[in-house]
Amino acid sequence: MTNKPRYAEASMEAMYRIFTVPEAPGSTLGNIDQKLSQNLAGFLQEHIVAVEKDLEELQKDFSDSEIPEKPIFVSDQADFLMDKLVAQSVHTASPSFIGHMTSALPYFMLPLSRIMMALNQNLVKIETSKAFTPMERQVLGMIHRLIYDKNDGFYDKWMHEPGYSLGSFCSGGTIANITALWVARNCRFDKDLKNGFRGIQRAGLYGALQHYGYKGAAILVSERGHYSLGKAADVLGIGRDSLISIKADARNKIDLQELRTRIDELKADNVAIIGMVGVAGTSETGSVDPLDEMADIAEEIGCHFHVDAAWGGPTLFSKKYAHILKGIERADSVTIDAHKQMYVPMGAGMVVFKDPSLVSSIEHHADYIIRKGSRDLGAYTLEGSRPGIAMLLHSGLKIIGRSGYEILIEQGIEKAHAFASMINAETDFELVSEPELNILTYRYVPAFVKQKLATATPAQVDEIHEVLNRLTKRIQKNQRARGKSFVSRTTLTPEAWDRRRTIVFRVVLANPLTSLEILQDVLAEQKHIASTSACTECMDELHGLCDDRPMHAHAV
Amino acid sequence: MTNKPRYAEASMEAMYRIFTVPEAPGSTLGNIDQKLSQNLAGFLQEHIVAVEKDLEELQKDFSDSEIPEKPIFVSDQADFLMDKLVAQSVHTASPSFIGHMTSALPYFMLPLSRIMMALNQNLVKIETSKAFTPMERQVLGMIHRLIYDKNDGFYDKWMHEPGYSLGSFCSGGTIANITALWVARNCRFDKDLKNGFRGIQRAGLYGALQHYGYKGAAILVSERGHYSLGKAADVLGIGRDSLISIKADARNKIDLQELRTRIDELKADNVAIIGMVGVAGTSETGSVDPLDEMADIAEEIGCHFHVDAAWGGPTLFSKKYAHILKGIERADSVTIDAHKQMYVPMGAGMVVFKDPSLVSSIEHHADYIIRKGSRDLGAYTLEGSRPGIAMLLHSGLKIIGRSGYEILIEQGIEKAHAFASMINAETDFELVSEPELNILTYRYVPAFVKQKLATATPAQVDEIHEVLNRLTKRIQKNQRARGKSFVSRTTLTPEAWDRRRTIVFRVVLANPLTSLEILQDVLAEQKHIASTSACTECMDELHGLCDDRPMHAHAV
């Protein structure tokens, strides 16, 4: 069988072989597969080229817009992918890739992923998923319990109950957030049949506002809230201007006073408050809003309280740090991502609901699947067809366990604190946001600039800040292009700098393989980049602004 | 290294090993992995238990809501998954699983899936995807070209152009449809800055309708449209009642006369028409709407024309049958799923836009990623973080090629026609919907019932129909439970039966391994089931209604 050429032949017979004859062990793809399963880290290290290629250059390999008329050999495609795609990918599992939320994967995830792919289940309905449906319901139950800690009786009653759902599994945090706010919106403008209103689900937002006599609908969240919330406000028809952005305080937490003020204003303006979103681990600084106080306010005004814990949710695994999320158990809905701090491959998001009947507000049916009364999960999800990736989280929860995840979470938080101390001990760096969880931000500020800033006039600070912003950007891009390590960057408005727009390095410490030595190297590399020609212009400008001596004396 | 126990240990050292030490070749999971890669079909055949277990029974294995405190061994979890999850899954790749749109996978998809999982790229931004971004843009370009067939110059200009996008890759057809209608809605109520309107994206639907002076907004689609469109109408704030369902004709295609009538009514009622959806391959019957005529109407009234070709889009690969989709090239947007007739694993959906600037209506940014001017694909997608599954379609398009997909598509359509002839030749079956593509519906109607129906009064037809509906349901459930083969069921309202609600078997013929013999067996099994005790009651009732002789004479 395997003597036949590996396709590159358009015939029914070749098409048949594509579905029936496996890759030979010695074939190109067979070899890659074997190497991958035996030495993942080595494979990635060996095959991903670290140094950044110009994107225009990369595009050349993907510039043909025509679907090839004739099939090509599997081995040719495998070679192409290795040279042009894999080699030019990002080594997200590298311990020195600390700029984003994508980190390393436990080894067992890979063979399990293949089982999942081979089974090719579709969770929208029982008929294409069978045992995967109760399995996913169990995983949602476990996450629900992690957050809400209800008793056995609660889960015995609701976890597998058709017509109800403890949450919904989806491709990621964005869909989870949109789903939560969709539920919040639909519950807020529920049916009022006595007065002839069939509910927003049928009548739409315009009809709902007219019926209930409001001139608008709003959602409140801190300015540090995730950008998916703006997308949700757009998609749901509320409008981005009605996602009310509340100032964050010096620790990047929502300002409760301003929250109250804005609520009063909205009420006075006759705007319906659909929901309030607390953030448990902001994307940029890892900060956690005062959830308990927000829950009080939500209760007081009677609105849906959603917590976006896409990043920070797994902190609940840690007995030591779970208290940071106090109040999350009072949320009506919570977003949590498995592909972030639960070490499952992309994309595995979830939203869970305190009350398992909430999903009835978004329930939908069809004649050929998800019929009324069925156990099909598709009746309560924004997505339709979905893969069985819950199986990977099920395995993570079993193989790593609560106590294993606790260790992983705690090492991240403690490493972040150690890195913060390291930065504080450096004369040429400034810690911009203290880590509350395992995310922190900082920037390169040479000692001579720090000195000047201490006594500078506001106008001088403005000028220096502007150059520092360009310098940070320059260093970040340069470091990324060199390919040794990677931090990301964002723009904050720190209170300490009177809310000036401040570009910072952003570091996310979730990979357990990231050592303190690596972090020390990251700082050393950044200092080095600052001394190279890439930064000469910025450094010269800083000297010009900060030194009493003339600028050229300091030029490199 | 591999002598150490495979976890079941909560220590930092064990956690470290989880990320660094591969599964040993002889381990439980290693063995499964090897078997899977060497003999996928055999593996599935051997491990998936065909006979349906009661769901209540299955749930028992997934009833614990507590996350285990202590880690368990990888091998224990592997054993559990094989026994309780894999064994109780649905064999979607089986050639006799012809009830839904999930079919077999080409072999090469599996090792490629593992590479994709191991790389764990995140397509939301270049910094976590690099070459995957131009690769995905190329795939979208290829699909765009398949549909719109623009010239090289068009793709040279737009395919990789930051700030524009030929489409968006997503988890499936539902998200694709929602994205298309989101774009349609936002374009319909665009900015009107001269008159102080900032666009629906910012002002919301209520503000938009008020500004433009409409009392509602509507979308039109045939009654055979996919249920995701109702979900879209709900999510987007339009409301399900404003998804205007147009009657389908005897061939399950939208009735153009009724479409025109409803458009006139909406206009008279001062309702804004956001868009019109043509279906290219309805989920239930595989029918294709008259797209060219719909495009004329959309042009005439100036509304967005979306085509939901999630299923039927790949018909364009076939020179012989592409004409069925004539007019699709005039659509403003088209949904097409790679995990359906392009044989990519779950979930790979796409929406493409004729005009690459349309996506600006849903554009969004953030400070830490998808910044303005970046090439990050996340600025134009409903989802945020997304896996690099476009790589699998890229490989399918290369390894199978246009001419390979053509063969796959044509065999499906021709097999459906052959099956239809087979059903027509049977005395005890009734073909309910002729296949236009590769989907058909039929039901079991014993010859004696057919005879009676030919001369029955409408009231008698009603009665007989009601029993036939129960019988069809009974046979379908029974066949599924027996596990030898699987067809799905749905409810249609055929013109031939004066739009009576008619439950039918639904067959989808995409798996190239499904032979005519298998189809013959499906019919034989259904006839057999009808003769068993499971159907006695229904059959007795039919005899009672159809026979002149007393019922008991025919009881089985």
Q: What is the CATH number of the domain that holds A415?
A: 3.90.1150.170
Using CB atoms, pick whichever of B41, B74, B200 lies closest to residue A108: B74
Tell me the CATH number at B509: 3.90.1150.10
Amino acid residing at A141: G
Mean predicted confidence (pLDDT) in B120-140: 95
* Residues A68, A35 within the same domain: yes
Statement to judge: residues B206 and B298 lie in one domain: yes
Select from B289, B317, B334 the last residue of a domain: B334
**In a domain? residue B3:** no
Residue B509 pLDDT more than 90? yes
CATH of the domain at B287: 3.40.640.10
* Domain contains A189: yes
Is 70 exceeded by the pLDDT of residue A415?
yes
User: Is there a single domain that holds both residue A544 and residue A413?
Assistant: yes
Give CA–CA dist A316/B123, Å, rounded: 28
pLDDT score for A549 = 55
Q: Cβ separation of B127 and A367 shorter than 8 Å?
A: no
What residues in B contact A119, CB-CB < 8 Å? Answer: 44, 86, 89, 92
| Inside any domain, residue A346 | no
pLDDT score recorded for residue B553: 46
Residues of B in contact with A160 (CB under 8 A): 59, 62-63
Kindly state the DSSP code that residue A97 receives in the 8-state scheme.
B
pLDDT in tens, A240-289: 999 999 999 999 999 999 999 999 999 999 999 999 999 999 999 999 99
Query: Does residue B149 have a pLDDT over 90?
Result: yes
For chain B, how many structural domains are there in total? Answer: 4
**Three-state SS string across A357-415, please?**
CHHHHHCCCCCCCCCCCCCCHHHHCCCCCCCCCHHHHHHHHHHCHHHHHHHHHHHHHHH
Closest Cα in chain B, distance from residue A263 (Å): 19
pLDDT confidence of residue B551: 47
Per 3-state DSSP, what percentage of chain A is helix, strand, and coil (rounded to 5)? 50, 15, 35
| Residue A46 within a domain | yes
Residue A253 has which token pair? 């937490």
Tokens matching residue B120: 């764990």
Tell the burial category of B421 from Cβ atoms under 10 Å away from its Cβ (0-12, 13-18, 19+).
exposed
Q: Specify the pLDDT at position A20.
A: 87
For chain B, percent of residues with pLDDT exceeding 70: 98
The Cα-based distances of A122 to A437, B101, B485 in angstroms read: 36, 10, 18
- Confidence tier at B436 by pLDDT (50, 70, 90): very high
Q: Is residue B99 part of a domain?
A: no
Report yes or no on A267 lying in a domain: yes
From chain B, pick out residues whose CB is under 8 angstroms from the CB of A57: none
Q: Are B311 and B283 in contact (CB under 8 A)?
A: yes
Size of interface A-B (CB pairs under 8 A): 590
Whether residue A328 sits in one domain with residue A187? yes
Q: How far apart are CA B215 and CA B204, in angstroms?
A: 14
Please give the residue range of the domain that contains residue B483.
Answer: 404-554
Is residue A98 included in any domain, yes or no?
no
Indicate if A391 and A301 belong to the same structural domain: no
Of A74, A88, A111, nearest to B32 by CB-CB distance is A111
Q: Output the average pLDDT for chain B.
A: 94
| Reported confidence tier of residue B200, pLDDT bands at 50, 70, 90 | very high
Question: Would you say residue B124 has pLDDT above 90?
Answer: yes
CA distance B310 to chain A (A): 11
B110 contacts A65? CB cut-off 8 A: no
Give the per-residue pLDDT at B4: 65
Q: Which helix (H) or strand (E) holds A14?
A: helix A12-20
Which of A63, A89, A115 is the last residue before a domain boundary? A89
Tally Cβ neighbours within 10 Å of residue B185.
Answer: 29
pLDDT average, residue stretch B368-395: 93
pLDDT bucket at A10, cuts 50 / 70 / 90: confident
Domain final residue pick, A30, A60, A89: A89
Name the percent of chain B lying above pLDDT 90. Answer: 86
Chain B neighbors of A144, CB-CB under 8 A: 65
Q: What is the pLDDT of residues B452-474, one digit of tens each?
A: 999 999 999 999 999 999 999 99
User: Has residue B554 got a pLDDT over 50?
Assistant: no
Read off φ and ψ for residue B244, nearest 5 degrees. Answer: -80, 115
pLDDT band of A551, cuts 50, 70, 90: very low
Same domain, A166 and A184: no
Question: What is the per-residue pLDDT for A4?
Answer: 65
The mean pLDDT of chain A is 94
| pLDDT at position A115 over 70 | yes
| Vertex B463 angle, CA B462 and B464, to 5° | 95
B367–A121 C-beta distance less than 8 A: no
Distance CA A114, CA A120 (A): 10
Question: Are B122 and A92 a contacting pair at CB < 8 A?
Answer: yes
The answer to whether the CB atoms of B19 and A367 lie below 8 A apart is: no
Q: Provide the shortest C-alpha distance from residue A544 to chain B (in Å).
A: 29
Torsion from C-alpha of A509, A510, A516, A520, nearest 10 degrees: -40
Mean pLDDT of B171-199: 97
% of chain A exceeding 90 in pLDDT: 86
pTM as predicted: 0.96
Average pLDDT over residues A455-483: 96
Residue A392's nearest CA partner among A336, A334, A335, A346 is: A346
B485: pLDDT confidence band, cut at 50, 70 and 90? very high
List of residues 6+ apart from B251 with CB closer than 8 A: B287, B433, B434, B436
CB contact under 8 A, A61 and B137: no
Residue A38, exposed/middle/buried by CB under 10 A (0-12, 13-18, 19+)? middle
Q: How confident is the model at residue B3 (pLDDT cuts 50, 70, 90)?
A: low
Instruction: Specify whether B195 is located in the same domain as B319.
Output: yes
Judgement on whether residues B149 and B220 belong to the same structural domain of the protein: no
Q: Would you place residue A2 in the very low, low, confident or very high pLDDT band (cuts 50, 70, 90)?
A: very low
- Segment B320-354, tens digit of pLDDT: 999 999 999 999 999 999 999 999 999 999 999 99
Average pLDDT over residues A474-499: 95
- List, in sequence order, every residue forming a beta bridge with B486; answer none if it has no partner: B97
Average pLDDT (A20-28) is 86
For residue B399, is pLDDT > 90? yes
- B271-279/B216-222 β-pairing: parallel
Residue A168 and residue A257 share a domain: no
Q: Which residues of A touch B311 (CB under 8 A)?
A: none
Sequence length of chain B is 556
Least reliable range by pLDDT among B443-447, B480-484, B519-523, B529-533: B480-484
Nearest to A181 by CA among A239, A131, A257: A239
Name chain B contacts of A391, Cβ cutoff 8 Å: 81, 85
Q: Is the pLDDT of residue B408 over 70?
A: yes
ipTM over 0.85: yes
Query: Alpha helix (H) ranges present in B456-533?
Result: 458-482, 516-530
Of A70, A128, A402, the CB nearest to B403: A70
Q: What is the mean pLDDT of the segment spanning A223-234? A: 97
Token pair recorded at residue A342: 């639960």
A121 with A129: CB under 8 angstroms? yes
Q: Which of B399, B410, B469, B513 to mutate to test the interface with A (most CBs of A within 10 A)?
A: B399
> Are A275 and A333 in a shared domain?
yes
Interchain contact, A138 vs B173, CB within 8 Å: no
**Structural domain includes residue B180:** no
Is residue B522 domain-shared with residue B423, that is, in the same domain? yes
- B549 pLDDT band, cuts 50/70/90, is low
pLDDT band at B20 (very low <50, low <70, confident <90, very high): confident
- Measured CA to CA, the distance from residue B338 to residue B252 in angstroms comes to 24
If we measure between CA atoms, which residue out of B421, B423, B384 comes closest to residue B522? B423
Minimum-distance CB partner of A206 among B120, B156, B216: B216
- Tell me, yes or no, whether B223 and B330 share the same domain: yes
pLDDT of residue A553: 45
Per-residue confidence at B1, pLDDT binned at 50, 70, 90?
A: very low
The yes-or-no verdict on residue B142 having pLDDT over 80 is yes
- B165-to-A541, B139, B170, B355 alpha-carbon distances in Å: 39, 12, 14, 9
Task: Say how far apart CA A170 and CA A178 lie, in whole Å.
Answer: 11
Cα-flanking dihedrals φ and ψ of residue A517, to 5°?
-60, -45
Q: Which residue of chain A is at minimal alpha-carbon distance from B182?
A: A235
